[in-house]
Amino acid sequence: METQGLIPSAADPMALFESWFNDAKESEPNDPDAMSLATATPDGVPSVRMILLKRLGPDGFCFYTNKESRKGEQIAANAHAALCFHWKSLRRQVRVEGTLFEVTPEQADAYFASRSRESRVAAWASDQSREMDDRQAFLDRVAEADARFEGQEVGRPPHWSGFRLEPAMIEFWLNQPHRMHDRVVYRRKGDGWATARLFP
């Protein structure tokens, strides 16, 4: 299929993103909330991985992680980050750049409580991003944590939280025939946004 039309004009890029995201939920066969997260060390060495968007609002894009993981350590040292959504079924892409802020303890608690018990136990057992001797070492730690919490609520570990990316730039990309793609960028300007179309 070939995408028709152009990216619509919008005063608020977050509203446009939400519209595209809703379209992706209808058409994308797997994980429409998947996004790449790029972070960097203080001296600019980049790192990227796929994660899941867990909350979307006017204030930005939220995800959750172990703060002692590699990405958590990079975020602590350099709060500037970038996201990229690619919905192949729609031939659309959105890039976001901005600053990361830790969510409130109440928000982190609420999301952690919504996870399966198995996922909550695993969060206690995993030294995310660290090397381990073998897979069984992790499974043994999961079993130990499961026994420790038997018969009681599995609360959030102190090293586990979430982050909100507050966007300073959002770029929408829409496939067009012959690589004549449509690109629209929004850049934060005071309390609003400045927008421009880009050459493909």
Which sequence spans correspond to the domains of the chain? 13-198
Structure pTM?
A: 0.91
Give the mean model confidence (pLDDT) for residues 71-85.
97
Tell me which architecture the domain covering 13-198 has in CATH. Roll (2.30)
Percent of the chain scoring above 90 in pLDDT: 90
Q: Which residues contact 44 (CB under 8 A, 6 or more apart)?
A: none
Q: At what angle do helices 117-125 and 135-148 cross, to 10 degrees?
A: 120
Q: What value does the mean pLDDT of the chain take?
A: 94
- Tell me: pLDDT of 135 over 80: yes
pLDDT of residue 159: 95
| pLDDT band with cut points at 50, 70 and 90 for residue 2 | very low
Give the Cα separation of 107 and 105 in Å (integer).
5
pLDDT at position 80: 97
Q: Using one digit for the tens of pLDDT, what is the confidence trace for 13-34?
A: 999 999 999 999 999 999 999 9
Counting Cα atoms < 13 Å in the Cβ hemisphere of 112 gives 24
- Sequence-distant (6+) residues with CB within 8 A of 30 are none
Check residue 1 and give its pLDDT. Answer: 38
Close Cβ partners of 86 (under 8 Å, ≥ 6 residues apart): 36, 92, 93
Per-residue DSSP letter, 90: T
Measured between alpha carbons, how far is 129 from 138 in angstroms, rounded to an integer? 12
